[in-house]
């Protein structure tokens, strides 16, 4: 069920709270081009866990709130967690959602148990990782420009039938604000360092990922105090099957 959390007086954060009400809570941080309405990925997980998918600012029904840095998102979600009276939880992040998952863990250090990262965005605030990034690094992108970039990069060639699907509509909401914010914030100071993350991190990345190089995942692992990185010999950056296998073989394994 889609619910709404109010913060900062007038802003709204949309989230989908479903699954086993008595199960261990897992907060899901979606990647690029995603919708919290697409719960089919979690058919097995929701049988045993309470799944809470949160739409970041600008996606879907969440207000297009301009974050000063990635850590501020963690601060906002920490207030949601307090409202929901959740004492302990895990975090499941994929792709562009990874930095935001770390931010939640930073702001909820006594509550965030494990972080699961599938094909995660690397620690692009780090200068050494920026040097290995294969594209231009721009730390000062205006909000409107970031939205324009997102529209051109992600949505310029979307077939008409796809435009009616939730993952496209929610990602394009508010003139591509959410996708643009990812682009705007990723190279800036996140407001924290990964060395401050106390949670156990389970990371998986494919050596054949042609979107985010596994070498950057290896460098990101070294910044985390307690991280296991599983490198796959095969696989894409994201696939429905790969995502569900990660849930089955890694997340569910640790929940049972």
Average pLDDT, the chain: 97
Segment 221-243 shows an average pLDDT of: 98
pLDDT at position 96 over 90: yes
Tens digits of per-residue pLDDT, 41-82?
A: 999 999 999 999 999 999 999 999 999 999 999 999 999 999
pLDDT attached to residue 209: 98
d(CA 118, CA 206): 9
Say what the pLDDT of residue 163 is. 95
Strand partners, 14: 4
DSSP type of residue 28: E
Does position 256 have pLDDT exceeding 90, yes or no?
no
pLDDT in tens, 99-136: 999 999 999 999 999 999 999 999 999 999 999 999 99
Residue 194 in this model has a pLDDT that exceeds 90: yes
Is the per-residue pLDDT at 147 higher than 80?
yes
Do the Cβ atoms of 45 and 251 come closer than 8 Å? yes
Per-residue pLDDT, averaged over 232-252, amounts to 98
Quick one: average pLDDT of 172-187? 98
Buried/exposed 16-38: b ≥16 CB within 10 Å, e otherwise: bbbbeeeebbbbbbbbbbbbbbb
Smallest CA-to-CA distance from 185 within 122, 138, 117, 135 is with 138
Q: Report which of 54, 21, 48 is spatially closest to residue 35, judged by C-alpha positions.
A: 54
Distance CA 157, CA 175 (A): 16
The model carries a pTM of: 0.98
Q: Is the dihedral of CA 122, 114, 27, 158 positive or negative?
A: positive
Q: Length of the chain, please?
A: 256
3-state secondary structure at position 71: helix
3-state class of 121 per DSSP? coil
Mean pLDDT confidence for 191-212: 98
- What's residue 1's pLDDT? 82
CA 239/CA 123 separation, integer angstroms: 22
pLDDT surpassing 90 at residue 144: yes
């Amino acid at each position: 069920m889609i619910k709404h959390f109010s913060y900062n007086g007038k802003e709204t954060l949309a989230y989908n709270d479903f699954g086993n009400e008595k199960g261990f809570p897992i907060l899901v941080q979606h990647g690029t081009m995603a919708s919290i309405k697409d719960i089919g990925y979690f058919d097995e997980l929701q049988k045993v866990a309470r799944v809470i998918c949160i739409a970041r600012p600008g996606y879907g029904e969440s207000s297009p709130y301009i974050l000063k840095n990635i850590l501020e998102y963690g601060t906002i979600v920490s207030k949601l967690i307090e409202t929901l009276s959740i004492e302990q939880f895990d975090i499941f992040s994929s792709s562009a959602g990874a930095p935001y998952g770390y931010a939640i863990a930073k702001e909820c250090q006594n509550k965030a148990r494990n972080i699961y990262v599938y094909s995660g965005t690397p620690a692009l605030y780090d200068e050494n990782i920026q040097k290995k990034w294969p594209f231009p690094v721009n730390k000062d992108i205006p909000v409107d420009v970031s939205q324009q970039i997102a529209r051109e990069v992600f949505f310029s060639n979307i077939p008409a039938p796809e435009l009616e699907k939730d993952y496209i509509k929610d990602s394009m909401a508010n003139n591509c604000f959410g996708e643009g914010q990812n682009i705007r914030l990723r190279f800036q100071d996140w407001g924290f360092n990964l060395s401050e993350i106390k949670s156990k991190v389970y990371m998986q990345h494919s050596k054949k990922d042609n979107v985010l190089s596994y070498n950057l995942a290896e460098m990101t692992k070294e910044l985390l105090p307690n991280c296991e990185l599983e490198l796959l010999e095969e696989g894409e950056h994201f696939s429905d099957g790969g995502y569900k296998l990660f849930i089955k073989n890694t997340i569910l394994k640790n929940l049972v």
